[in-house]
Amino acid sequence: MLPIDDVSRAALDGSRPADELVVWAWYDGDLAWPYALGVTSWSLSGSSDASEKVQRKLSLTVADPDGGLSPWLFDDPLGVGGVVLQVIYRVGGAGALNVGWFRVEGNAPDGMVNGYTIPEYGYQEADSDSAPHERRLFAFSGAVVKVDAVDLTADVDRDRFLAPQSPRGSSPTVLGEVARLASDHFPVVVDAGVTDSSVSKKLVYDRERLEAVQDLLANVSARFRMGGDGEMHIYPMTGTAPVWRVEPGAGLVSVHRTQTIDGLYNCWVVEGKEGANGKPVTGTAYLRTGPLRWDGPHGRVPDFYSSEMITSWGQARAYAETLRDRQAASYAVELDVETVPRPEIQAGDRIEVGCPMPAGHVVYLLGEVVSVSAGGSPVPGPTKFTVSCAYADVVTAIGTTPFGDHLTSTKPPLTWDRMPSSWGSLPAITWNNLP
């Protein structure tokens, strides 16, 4: 979560004058433009998905009434040759918080020019369509500049290694190496809950600097994200306390959810080769309980994996079980949540969402914010979150048993006596003793 003072945080929960986004353009340590940019519309998105190396993206539409902001050169005030944007969220009637610093990656000025003709005795332009004694003039009448920017990790991503590197020092560690790899671009702050670990000096960073940072942090179950003052924060993947509870009727605008069958496997087949003769080896693991169980109503849905690193049946079976357990641990219910503006909440934060139930009560679900987006024209509108809640936590909260070995129900017993008499006499079976 971005740092925010108590007065501003309390104001976000109540009625207040309109909030606003304040943006300053900087180049090489100095203001590139002496005034705050006239932002007419904006959008800001963030993600904790590790596949997205650059996690926060900013889009602006900036008013340019006199043409001074419309770039021609790379080092113009909104050029792509090194301009960075300082973004501040001002809470109406309270304080402000620093949202972050963003590198300009693209711009598209759209200027408006009016043409008109004036009489000028004696003027005649060769090869002109204008009549003699007339001069054609053009006047700039304003423009807008569309700007695309990303957080400063993009600079690290572009700063690839010129040659392979290995960890430095006599006893390198994960956090020490991360700080070294990023130190030319911004300071690194380690949040509470992250435990350092040693790094082998034989490790080789091949080409991608930012990928090396990601891989290092994965070894200590941590991730990175950018803070409001241009610093990189290293934070733990799990175990953090919720930073906010959003209540129905008190901040929560709407909450929705969806399901998809994609990726819901219940069998894992791992293939390898044994010995010099390359004899195939196969290991298999099944999901035997729960609604997705093998041979259950979900059906049979195998997933296949092969690797030359698998050289025995034991390895194949063990890795198949690892894949099974990994999926079981990753089951989640994703909530699409829309709230009043909450500029301090970041992707990677954990929040509690109050979900009204058909029975009339509210269930509070704890989950991780995996994506966040906000925007305005220019007054900020609602903030939208995707919140990933662990499936087991959802099951516990709504009071059902997802992976038990038996079904329970308040329905009357289902017995074979209700089936057509032509089926013959079969032993009774009820909801309480189904396998």
What pLDDT does residue 254 have?
92
Closest to 214 (Cα-Cα) out of 10, 79, 49: 49
What pLDDT does residue 115 have?
67
The C-alpha atoms of residue 257 and residue 277 are separated, in whole angstroms, by: 51
How do residues 153-176 score in pLDDT, each as one tens digit?
Answer: 999 999 999 999 999 999 999 999
What pLDDT does residue 271 have?
95
What pLDDT does residue 167 have?
94
What separation in angstroms does the CA of 349 have from each of 2, 171, 238, 297, 427? 10, 32, 10, 36, 54
* β-strand partners of 407: none
Q: Are strands 267-274 and 251-257 parallel, antiparallel or unpaired?
A: unpaired
What pLDDT does residue 329 have?
86
The C-alpha atoms of residue 341 and residue 375 are separated, in whole angstroms, by: 9
| Helical (H) or strand (E) element with 322 | helix 313-330
pLDDT confidence bin for 122, thresholds 50/70/90: low
Residues 44 and 23: beta-carbon distance below 8 Å: no
Q: Helices 174-182 and 209-218 meet at what angle, rounded to 10? A: 160
What pLDDT does residue 14 have?
81
The C-alpha atoms of residue 381 and residue 375 are separated, in whole angstroms, by: 6
What pLDDT does residue 42 have?
97
Residue 221 has pLDDT above 50, yes or no: yes
Question: How large is the average pLDDT for residues 198-227?
Answer: 93
Residue 258 CB-density burial (10 A; 0-12 exposed, 13-18 middle, 19+ buried): exposed
Residue 305: Cβ within 10 Å count: 15
Residue 132 has pLDDT above 80, yes or no: no
**Listed range (63-67, 316-320, 424-428) with the worst mean pLDDT:** 424-428
* From-to residues of CATH 3.55.50.10 in the chain: 156-236
pLDDT confidence bin for 136, thresholds 50/70/90: confident
How do residues 236-280 score in pLDDT, each as one tens digit?
Answer: 988 789 999 999 988 899 999 998 999 999 999 999 998 777 889
Residues 270 and 323: beta-carbon distance below 8 Å: yes
SS3 content of the chain, % helix, strand, coil (to 5): 15, 40, 45
What pLDDT does residue 197 have?
94
Residue 431: Cβ within 10 Å count: 15
What pLDDT does residue 4 have?
94
The domain at 156-236 falls in which architecture? 3-Layer(bab) Sandwich (3.55)
How do residues 18-58 score in pLDDT, each as one tens digit?
Answer: 899 999 999 999 999 999 999 999 999 999 987 788 999 99
User: Which DSSP letter does residue 191 get?
Assistant: P
What pLDDT does residue 278 have?
81
pLDDT confidence bin for 114, thresholds 50/70/90: low
What pLDDT does residue 281 have?
94
pLDDT confidence bin for 309, thresholds 50/70/90: confident
What pLDDT does residue 249 have?
83
